[in-house]
A = this chain, B = another copy of it.
Amino acid sequence: MAELLTIGEVARRSGVAASALRFYEERGLLESERAGSGHRRYPRAVLRRIAFIVFAQRIGLTLAEIATELERLPAHRAPTRRDWGRLSTAWSSRIDARIAELERLKEGLTSCIGCGCLSLDRCQLANPGDRLGAEGPGPRAWVGADD
């Protein structure tokens, strides 16, 4: 097995499309060396980095946020336990917040909505405070992504 991987191999192994890998590079989430031909060559460690990205995405972070986190991590060393510790704390509370919201919504589904009281006047379930202000153009931040 070769020391360096081509973009196609990385795509197959990670399940992330080659076009997406190039896109991530453009956005500063990944780096690559180049073969003489100009073709990308990835060290095997890139797979861990990609796993990190996919993981973070499923938690609900945007690529911009993930890029910021990645910048704080050591670029070429494996991250230490301390590095993970900081991340872990921040992400955990993010996950907790989203879970809490989902549980609140679920509760509303059976009680508040079930009894027919769903109403913007009387019920805060559908409108948890912060939603009342517009947050600029474009699609709204991902459901629960910025809690």
Q: Which of A51, A79, A103, A116 has the most CB of B within 10 A?
A: A51
A134 within 8 A of partner (CB): yes
A window 44-89: CB within 8 A of B: 47-48, 50-52, 54-55, 57-60, 78-79, 81, 84-85, 87-88
Residue of chain B at shortest CB distance from A145: B143
Nearest CB of B to A110, in Å: 6
The distance in angstroms between the C-alpha atoms of A123 and B91, with both chains bound, is: 19
* B118–A55 touching, CB < 8 Å: yes
* B52–A118 touching, CB < 8 Å: yes
A-side interface size class: 35 or more
The distance in angstroms between the C-alpha atoms of A105 and B79, with both chains bound, is: 19
Pick the residue among B92, B103, B118, B142 that contacts A51 (CB under 8 A).
B118
Q: Which residues of B contact A8 (CB under 8 A)?
A: none
Pick the residue among B57, B114, B116, B121 that contacts A143 (CB under 8 A).
B57
Residues of A within 8 A of B (CB): 13-15, 17, 47-48, 50-52, 54-55, 57-60, 78-79, 81, 84-85, 87-88, 91-92, 95-96, 98-99, 101-103, 105-106, 108-110, 113-114, 116, 118-121, 123, 125-128, 131-132, 134, 140, 142-144
